[in-house]
Amino acid sequence: MTHTGLYLKGLDLQIFNNKDMKNFKVAYKFAEKQRLEIDYALNKGRTEGKLEMAEKLLEENVFSAEKIAEYFGLPLSQIKEIEASLAHA
């Protein structure tokens, strides 16, 4: 049985044989892909929430488009698009 010498994020993987190591790498890649997909979904949800709040603030004339963009970290052009759509509604 051949053992591999790999040290990854605090794990000493010397105890794995080559077959175990291959399975571990496949599982690790899958988990990393899942983590990236979850991060993407969370970020997308945060952005959508910010845009919804920006729209409400614009409707109520609470802050200027510039201040909303600054406070929420959104592109001013995106806030201006929302502002323009509200003006045409």
Chain CA centroid to CA 67, Å: 24
For the chain, the structural domain boundaries read 7-87
11-12 vs 7-8, strand pairing mode: antiparallel
- Say what the pLDDT of residue 69 is: 97
Residue 73 backbone class (left: φ over 0; alpha: ψ -120 to 50; beta: rest): left
pLDDT of residue 1: 46
Per-position pLDDT tens, the chain of length 89: 454 455 555 565 556 677 887 888 889 999 999 999 999 999 999 999 999 999 999 999 989 999 999 999 999 999 999 999 999 87
* pLDDT confidence of residue 80: 97
